């Protein structure tokens, strides 16, 4: 896609701190990291989000997400790893090119994840009923 920041990174038009790449995947450091080593894993082909990427391409992508998580945990001595992915503006997606965040976690690093909610009354049953029709 012509105006996609990630596509420009893949094409070398914008610089990035590349960790590694394969034939289909590009992995680099996030410029606004939550923690040291926060990386992005993206397909080289442009897909807007989880709803547009073919399953076989998503499979390749998630394998590299796992590889990246292991690399960051081992090489940066992270205690844990968060992996997340956003779809749409309401979910916080800023760049319309599917990508996974792989965030190493260290002791008391101060990173807060989304706050937890709760269900009221028979919400569980209502939701299950809607999703299993």
Q: How far apart are the first and last CA of the chain?
A: 37
**């800023």: which residue's tokens?**
94
The catalytic residue among 17, 46, 97, 99 is 99
101 burial level (CB within 10 Å; 0-12, 13-18, 19+)? middle
Fill in the DSSP letter of residue 114. P
Angle at 30 between CA 29 and CA 35, to 5 degrees: 90
Show the DSSP H helices in 1-133 as ranges.
5-10, 55-75, 123-131
Cα 127 from Cα 133, distance rounded (Å): 10
Per the annotation, the verdict on 101 as an active-site residue is: no
What positions carry a catalytic annotation? 99
């Amino acid at each position: 896609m012509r105006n996609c920041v990630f596509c420009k990174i893949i094409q070398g038009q914008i610089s990035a701190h590349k960790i590694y790449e394969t034939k289909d995947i590009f992995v680099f450091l996030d410029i606004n990291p939550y923690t040291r080593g926060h990386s992005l894993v993206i397909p080289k082909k442009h897909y807007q989000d989880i709803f547009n990427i073919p399953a076989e391409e998503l499979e390749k992508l998630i394998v590299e997400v796992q590889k990246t998580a292991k690399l960051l945990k081992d090489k940066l001595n992270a205690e844990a790893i968060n992996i997340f992915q956003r779809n749409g503006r309401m979910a916080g997606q800023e760049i319309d090119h599917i990508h996974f965040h792989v965030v190493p976690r260290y002791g008391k690093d101060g990173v807060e994840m989304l706050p937890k909610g709760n269900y009221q009354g028979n919400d569980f049953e209502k939701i299950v009923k809607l999703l299993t029709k």
